[in-house]
Amino acid sequence: MNKYYHVTIASNFVKGFDKYKKVYSKKNLKASTFSEQFFILKKDELDIGITKASKLLQKVGIKEDFLIVLETDIGDLLTHNDHETGLAQYIKQNYIDLVSVYTLDEEYKLKAIRIEDLTAKSFELNFDLQRDYNEIRPRSISILPVKSGCQANCDFCFSTYSVSEDLEKGLLKNDSIAFYLKLAKERGASRAVITGGGEPTLIAHNKLLEMIEQCSFYFPQKVVLITNAHNYAIQKPHEILKTLNELKEHGLTDLSISRHHYDDGKNEEIMKLHTPIENILKVNKNTQTELNIRLISVLQKGAVDSKEEIARYLNWAGSFGVEQICFKELYVATSSESYYHEYSANDFSYENQVSLRLVLEFCEEHGFKKVGELPWGAPLYEGIFAGNRFTIAVYTEPSLYWELVNGLSRSWNIMSNGDCLASLEDKNSFIERKMKEENEF
């Protein structure tokens, strides 16, 4: 590695950090003097950056702001030192690739911090985060009918470090579902999702169909079921066809299946469950059920973690006629935003995270075109690979602070006890609870 460093202030981080490319850029730093140069330091030159950034810290004057150090690997980029001061060096581009981030202790020694934690701290320095959750508009409305039960046992399962672990007892009733579906639509939601929590197909099949039908009444254009699909995959072909047709007939538009690796054995190792979803994919391909099937692969070390692995995954998916793929980054909760950041699954996610930049580079190298972007920046690409057409979502969830600042929730969440929460990281993020209770008397 060709390591260099850059010293700046924490309040600037959220302005310059691009999570998807994993770069820190001057693009949105309007006060930057040399917009197409990036000042970098060798480790023994950090005092130069500390002196410079300390002046910026004083000039900006944000209470509780602090110095941070960004580590980069410049590879074979040329460095230059023909600037006014002649001190240290710069590269001729307006960004650096991020390897690690640090704060400084009292003796100005580097102290590692997670990028997610630094991002949260930067949000706190820049924005007023005191906002009523009832003011947050939902992009989606999700139903989580199962609290935590699942046939799989993925080490990174978000449900094990979210509010699902901390629910009060209660029943999920049809009138509660209808109330929140209607309210979410009035507030701007464009789709309904049935997900976990635990695995949603563990509830009785007729109850699931009833739930899909309820969702379809309010959101006929988009009803999604996110599942490991184990209960469907182990059926006989004619039973699978019957199940897919029933889902479609009751209003399901998208069946999103978790499949983290193309190899059966490796996927079983990840999920700790043998789930032969090829059985579903074959039936869907051969019978044309008109039910859209999407595959979700969580990037992680030792699994889909390289461009070669992405290519193999697409070849495998394409052989079944699957056109929609969601490559997802492991979500890391922060101490500032989540009640549940200390859970072991969160540590696993941090230690095994693979940057979404890998997928961006793959798409660009293979001629995929960017065709859209979710409100929090997650891009969508379309293209042809190995003769098969794909739409690829390069996905991660928005942070809680992003949602508060922008007044938009990824999804409201109807929980298995009947509560509706704006965030799975805040157990107090209730939506319209009082209004619901008043309507029931």
CATH code of 207's domain:
3.20.20.70
Q: How many CB atoms lie within 10 A of CB 156?
A: 21
Check whether residue 172 and residue 279 sit in a common domain: yes
Residue-wise DSSP of 251-281: T--EEEEE---SSHHHHHHHHTS---THHHH
Go through 289-303 and write b for each residue having 16 or more CB atoms within 10 A of its CB, e for each that does not. bebbbbbbbbbbeeb
State which of 106, 126, 146 marks the end of a domain.
126
Per DSSP bridges, beta strands 388-395 and 420-421 are unpaired
Check whether residue 46 and residue 184 sit in a common domain: no
Burial of 29 (0-12, 13-18, 19+ CB in 10 A): middle
pLDDT at 86: 79
Tell me how many domains the chain contains.
2
pLDDT at 336: 80
pLDDT at 165: 64
Check whether residue 275 and residue 339 sit in a common domain: yes
For residues 90 and 82, the answer to whether their CB atoms sit within 8 Å is: no
Check whether residue 201 and residue 335 sit in a common domain: yes
Residues of the chain with pLDDT under 50: 435-441
- Tracing tokens 């602070």 back to the chain, one arrives at 401
Check whether residue 11 and residue 110 sit in a common domain: yes
- φ/ψ of 408, rounded to 5, equals -135, 125
d(CA 441, CA 436): 9
Burial of 361 (0-12, 13-18, 19+ CB in 10 A): middle
Check whether residue 53 and residue 157 sit in a common domain: no
Check whether residue 137 and residue 122 sit in a common domain: no
d(CA 402, CA 19): 12
Amino acid at 37: Q
CA-nearest of 317, 295, 313, 292 to 304 is 313
pTM value? 0.93
CA-nearest of 201, 199, 207, 138 to 171 is 207
pLDDT, tens digit, for every residue of 3-18?
A: 999 999 999 999 999 9
Check whether residue 211 and residue 82 sit in a common domain: no
Residue-wise DSSP of 282-340: HHHHHHT---EEEEEEE--TTSS-SHHHHHHHHHHHHTTT--EEEEEPPP---TTT-TT
Check whether residue 142 and residue 119 sit in a common domain: no
| Diameter over CA atoms, the chain | 75
Torsion sign across C-alpha atoms 369, 371, 377, 379: negative
CA-nearest of 325, 335, 332 to 396 is 332
Torsion sign across C-alpha atoms 279, 285, 288, 291: positive
The token pair at 197 is 């929590």
For residues 431 and 368, the answer to whether their CB atoms sit within 8 Å is: no
Length of the chain: 441
State which of 92, 126, 160 marks the end of a domain.
126
Check whether residue 103 and residue 143 sit in a common domain: no
d(CA 183, CA 325): 30
Check whether residue 119 and residue 228 sit in a common domain: no
CA-nearest of 272, 275, 273, 391 to 327 is 391
Task: Tell me the residue range of the domain where 276 lies.
Answer: 133-437
Check whether residue 51 and residue 162 sit in a common domain: no
pLDDT at 161: 55
Burial of 26 (0-12, 13-18, 19+ CB in 10 A): buried
State which of 126, 158, 179 marks the end of a domain.
126
- φ/ψ of 157, rounded to 5, equals -55, 120
